Amino acid sequence: MRKEQHHKGWNEIKTNDSWAIFKIMGEFVNGFEKMSAIGPCVSIFGSARTKESHEYYDLAIEISKKLATAGYGIITGGGPGIMEAGNRGAHQAGGISVGLNIDLPFEQHDNPYIDEDKSLDFDYFFVRKVMFVKYSQGFVVLPGGFGTLDELFEAMTLIQTQKIGKFPIVMVGTDFWSGLVDWLRSQLLKAKNISPSDLDLFKLVDTADEVVEIIDAFYKERTLSPNF
């Protein structure tokens, strides 16, 4: 009897998983249709917990303002902290401000600086991540937590394995990131788990002007288009 109940429960789970495919497809279709119409954008990542009074919040506003003035739309995860600052700078500069919101049981809520017609909601992190990677012309990565690191290493892995073409990845804040970069050199590179050229997949800077210069220089002789 216990065996029967166990197998019955397992079959029910599998059935539910199969029906979830349609919800996942719906998120992909909606995302592709809306994002493909927006044009060249740069994604700004960073902690949702960064307060408005923090220097990195102000720096994110400055970066997104300058990128918007240079003609790039700004994509963020749609929430508070650095994400809010990114959308806020784009909004203040009169640029395109996109929010890819994720439904979480805590912390996440839409910030008020996203363009009304460019706010997308996702239940699945992996679908949302595809939208970031496919439609971003560059990643600007400010200090953050697990989610920020996830996006950073996802992008570097896809470029390293040639699943997508190279695009600029700019890490902002040498005080914050230098320990990680030193560790990549002293541990991963030393152990030959990465190649020396893999350390060229990103740039480490401190100013908004450097961010814009790196992204503009990269696209000087390249076409702005989706990454795959």
DSSP, res 117: G
Q: Residue 156: name the closest of 107, 201, 200, 111 by CA.
A: 201
Structure tokens given for 116:
């009304």
Contact call for residues 142 and 54 (beta carbons, < 8 A): no
Alpha carbon dihedral 69, 94, 27, 108, in 10-degree steps, equals 100
pTM: 0.90
Lowest mean pLDDT among 30-39, 108-117, 161-170: 108-117
Antiparallel, parallel or unpaired: β 169-172 and 203-205: parallel
Contact call for residues 159 and 63 (beta carbons, < 8 A): no
Is CATH 3.40.50.450 correct for 2-218?
yes
Question: pLDDT digit string (tens) for 60-69?
Answer: 999 999 999 9
Question: pLDDT digit string (tens) for 102-135?
Answer: 988 776 578 999 999 999 999 999 999 999 999 9
